[in-house]
Every structure is written in structure tokens, then in C-alpha cells.
Amino acid sequence: MTTSLWQQYGRDSSLQHQIALRSTQGNLSWQALAAEINARAVLFRQQGVGMGTGVGLCGKNSLEFVLAYLAVLQLQGRVLGINPAFSPEKIQRICQDNQIAFLFHEETGLVPTGEGKTCSPLFHSLTLTLTSGSSGNPKAVVHNIKAHLDNAQGVCRLMAFNEQDTWLLSLPLFHVSGQGILWRWLSCHGILMLPGEDFYGSVLEATHVSLVPTQLQRMFAYIEMQQCLSWRTQHILLGGTHIPIALTQKLSQLNIQSYSGYGMTEMASTVCAKKSDEHVGVGQPLLGRELRLVDEEIWLKGAGLGLGYWQNGAVVPFTNSEGWLQTRDKGIWVNGELVIIGRLDNQFISGGENIQPEEIEALLQQYPTVKQAFVLPVDDVEFGQRPVAMVQFSGDFSTAQVTELRSWIAEKIEKFKQPIAYYPLPIQAQHGIKISRVMLKQALVQLLRKDE
């Protein structure tokens, strides 16, 4: 085993008795936490986990998942989070592709997969995080512990997170955003809080929380429904998609400081962030990050940059010849801060004009009754492609709602960017904490067939 931060804190006389983790099962001090992780590490080692061994964690966030994640790293293994919503066939394929020798489920514990025997022990103490990209094919981004900690420092400094504060594990560990919470906690030896069954009640008990806009909308509904008059929440980091200004202004009215961020799996989570204001940008690169715009494509390097993608038992770098990660994200500088325009992969051409779906989506989400909106291209004989919208209203989807929305947007955007049709946003496209554009395209194809 290798000495880890949690072991150091557990032995430090000034820290060992401080609370490290809160859960529905009680509180753990740093000393007790280190002992629990040691116990899992001993058990895992007895079952065959060692330097370079790949272990997949498949399930929802829990105390056991946190302990297992850290125990694998303590044993200098490779840990990969897997969405439990994936089919058994997809999970098996992921294990094969990434040489995952064991799969951990909270109910069954550590189970051999029959894979991973060819993996070199040279690749150790690594996290693998799946990212679908635009194709929908999962690729595993490889990070070492230093990259996670380097990324964490900039976020903790911006959000004034320290050892007296509590950060809620509000995002899944199989997302890099969830892992980012763990490493911020560890870098500052603060307090990690695991949510209980009343998730939004837990949100209001932590000083620091990471949320996507959908979760934030549900938090507002919870506060209203429960008639909450007070909360401990002081700082909320927002990211994952376009962040409506109306939401951050509503947080300000609740005396909660929000932060608008932009990040990538390849960069170990947040790259740029700022205290939210009346502007749509995401600020500037945080501590140690570097950013360059090349033909409006965002290039990144510095703190948090991964080692590459895991392919066939090796790490294949994803940087270009100059050492930059070409993100395929489109951005511009406005008044000294980065504004994210959208994915270059999502852009399409309609009648010779470039259309960036995210621009239209951001406008649609300014309409009072629109909760979420996504714009996709459909083939058109005359124009090549035209935009259509998939929308979730705060109430039921109806012709009347669509008519009013059409009229509203007609005065605010060029005609060729106005959606030619509107469809309800399918619930099944909610893939974890993000909407899957791949699934939206599949759903749209089915809807269009019904219209034929």
C-alpha cells in the first residue's frame, strides 16, 4: 500500500479527531475514516487487487462506494466509475475495453470479471472516467491523483472552501464532477457529506454544493413546497450545461452565492468559473489552467489535464503536438471573460448559414415556462437542414404553450434560427445528470416517423 492523504490526516494529531465525513450512518473522524479504508484495502488485496489492477465501481453514491474508491487507489489500482443504468451488456463491454478485473457492487461486493489480466502494473494509482463525447461511444479518460488535486485547488480558492466547511457529494462518482467533490474535500481536509433519502434537505444542510441547473430548479421547488425559512448553504457551483441567469439571480435573492463554471472530463472537472452575475460568461481559467482560442475552438492545458485515453491496456495522449487539448467546444471572449457558444460537433448548416443549437437553446430557456430546451437538426430538401426544438415546460406540453413560445421567439432571433417544429422532451433522455443528445436524436427520429 502507498501512503495517502487520508492516512496522513488520520495520523495527524491536529486532524485525526476532526470530523471527515457525515452520512446517515453517522460521522467519521479522519482517524476512523482511514481505518475503514484500510479495512477495505486489506480485503480487496486478499481478493487479488494490487498495483495496476482495474476495479469498476457500479452503483449510486454511498459510503461504501467512497470507501471502495479510495481503497483501490490506496492499493495503487485503477478505479473506474460505471453508471448503474447501463445495460449488463454495455457494462461487460466497458470492462473488456478497459481491462477491469473486478466489478464492485454494494450488494455483492468485489466480483471478478475475467478481464484485465494483460494490464501492465506500470499504470497504477489512476482514475478512469467515462466520457461519451459526441459519438456516444464511451472513452475512459485517465487521471493521476496529482491532476485531481491540482484541479481542486483552484476551485477551493474561488469558493473559499476550507476545513470547517461541508461539501455535499451531490453528483455521481461515475462523473468527473462527482470525483471533483471528493478531491476538493481531500485537498482541504474539510467535511464530506453524503446525502440522505431527502436529497434536497441534504443540499440545504451543506455549506458547499455542486449542482446542474435541473437540480437547482428542483431545489427551488423543494424550498417552496417545504416552506423552508433557513438553510446552511452558502456556495453553489453550477455547471454541466447552459446556466440561465434567472436561476443565479434567484439564488442571490436567497443570499446564496452561486458560481458559473465550465469544465471537461479531460481536465478533471472545472476549468473556468466565476461568481455568477448578470453576464452569461464563465469567467477566466482558474489557478494553474491555461486557455487559448484557436478559430473560436477552446484549447486547454495545465492543472487537471489528464494523461490521455485508456486504449488496449495503454494510455494514448489526447493532446496535440503543442501539448494542448483541443476541446471541440466553441467560445469567445466578451468583456474579459469566456462565453461558451456550444459544441462545434453540434453546429449545422441551414441554407448556407451556420446554426449553433446552444444559442437557440439558451434563448428558449429564457421563456418563463420553459424548464429545458434542446435544438436538433432535421433534413430539409430546400435548406439542407432546419432546426427543431424538444422542450420541457413547467406545466404540460400543449399546442397553446408552443404557439405562445413561437410568437415570443419570433421577435428575438433570426427567422432561419427559429425552430420549425416543437416536440416534448422525452424523459428517457435524462441520462444520469445530463441530457443525452444521442438519445434525443434517436427519439426525434421516432417522432418524425410517426408524423410521416
| Per-residue pLDDT, 114 | 86
Residue 19 in any domain: the answer is yes
**434 has a pLDDT exceeding 80:** no
CATH code assigned at 400: 3.30.300.30
Q: What is the mean pLDDT of residues 332-353?
A: 93
Q: How many whole angstroms separate alpha carbon 105 and alpha carbon 87? A: 14
Name the band, by pLDDT with cuts 50, 70 and 90, for residue 446: confident
For residue 71, the enclosing domain spans: 5-124
Whether residues 327 and 352 share a domain: the answer is no
Whether residues 340 and 352 share a domain: the answer is no
Cβ pair 57, 94 in contact under 8 A:
no
Whether residues 62 and 18 share a domain: the answer is yes
Q: What is the mean pLDDT of residues 227-254?
A: 93
Q: Which of 90-94, 166-170, 242-246, 432-436 has the lowest mean pLDDT?
A: 432-436
The single residue listed with the C-alpha cell 483541443 is 326
Q: How many domains does the chain have?
A: 3
**134 has a pLDDT exceeding 50:** no
Residue 152 CB neighbour total at 10 angstroms: 27
Whether residues 313 and 362 share a domain: the answer is no
Query: Residue 143: what are its φ and ψ, rounded to 5°?
Result: -130, 150
Name 269's bridge partners.
264
Whether residues 322 and 444 share a domain: the answer is no
| Per-residue pLDDT, 450 | 76
**349 has a pLDDT exceeding 50:** yes
Residue at which a domain ends, from 344, 377, 411: 344
Residue 136 in any domain: the answer is no
Whether residues 290 and 195 share a domain: the answer is yes
Name 262's bridge partners.
272
CATH code assigned at 93: 3.40.50.980
Name the band, by pLDDT with cuts 50, 70 and 90, for residue 1: very low
| Per-residue pLDDT, 322 | 97
Using one digit for the tens of pLDDT, what is the confidence trace for 326-340? 999 999 999 999 999
**135 has a pLDDT exceeding 80:** no
The 3-state secondary structure of the chain reads CCCCHHHHHHHCCCCCCCEEEEECCEEEEHHHHHHHHHHHHHHHHHCCCCCCCEEEEECCCCHHHHHHHHHHHHCCCEEEEECCCCCHHHHHHHHHHCCCCEEEECCCEEEECCCCCCCCCCCCCEEEEEECCCCCCCEEEEEEHHHHHHHHHHHHHHCCCCCCCEEECCCCCCCHHHHHHHHHHHHHCCEEECCCCCHHHHHCCCCEEEECHHHHHHHHHHHHHHCCCCCCCCEEEECCCCCCHHHHHHHHHCCCEEEEEEEEHHHCEEEEEEECCCCCCCCEECCCEEEEEECCEEEEEECCCCCEEEECCEEECCCCCCCCEEEEEEEEEECCEEEEEEEHHHCEEECCEEECHHHHHHHHCCCCCEEEEEEEEEEECCCEEEEEEEEEECCCCCHHHHHHHHHHHHCCCCHHHCCCCEEECCHHHEECCEECHHHHHHHHHHHHHHHC
Residue 168 in any domain: the answer is yes
Name the band, by pLDDT with cuts 50, 70 and 90, for residue 429: low
Whether residues 399 and 318 share a domain: the answer is no
| Per-residue pLDDT, 214 | 83
Name the band, by pLDDT with cuts 50, 70 and 90, for residue 119: low
| Per-residue pLDDT, 449 | 80
Residue 130 in any domain: the answer is no
Whether residues 228 and 285 share a domain: the answer is yes
Residue at which a domain ends, from 297, 316, 344: 344
Whether residues 260 and 166 share a domain: the answer is yes
Whether residues 152 and 240 share a domain: the answer is yes
Using one digit for the tens of pLDDT, what is the confidence trace for 259-312? 999 999 999 999 999 999 999 999 999 999 999 999 999 999 999 999 999 998
Residue 208 in any domain: the answer is yes
**133 has a pLDDT exceeding 60:** no
| Per-residue pLDDT, 417 | 95
Whether residues 359 and 331 share a domain: the answer is no
Cβ pair 233, 258 in contact under 8 A:
no
Residue 283 in any domain: the answer is yes
Q: What is the mean pLDDT of residues 170-179?
A: 96
Mention every residue, 6+ apart, whose C-beta is less than 8 A from residue 49: 55, 72, 75, 77, 101, 102, 110
Using one digit for the tens of pLDDT, what is the confidence trace for 95-110? 999 999 999 998 899 9
Name 388's bridge partners.
376
Name the band, by pLDDT with cuts 50, 70 and 90, for residue 428: low
Q: How many whole angstroms separate alpha carbon 125 and alpha carbon 73? A: 5
Residue 131 in any domain: the answer is no
Cβ pair 233, 206 in contact under 8 A:
yes
Using one digit for the tens of pLDDT, what is the confidence trace for 38-93? 999 999 999 999 999 999 999 999 999 999 999 999 999 999 999 998 889 999 99
Name the band, by pLDDT with cuts 50, 70 and 90, for residue 118: low
Residue at which a domain ends, from 315, 344, 373: 344
Residue 88 in any domain: the answer is yes
CATH code assigned at 217: 3.40.50.12780
Q: For a pLDDT cut of 90, what percent of the chain falls above it?
A: 83
| Per-residue pLDDT, 426 | 87
- pTM of full prediction above 0.75: yes
Higher pLDDT, 68 or 371: 68
Whether residues 86 and 151 share a domain: the answer is no
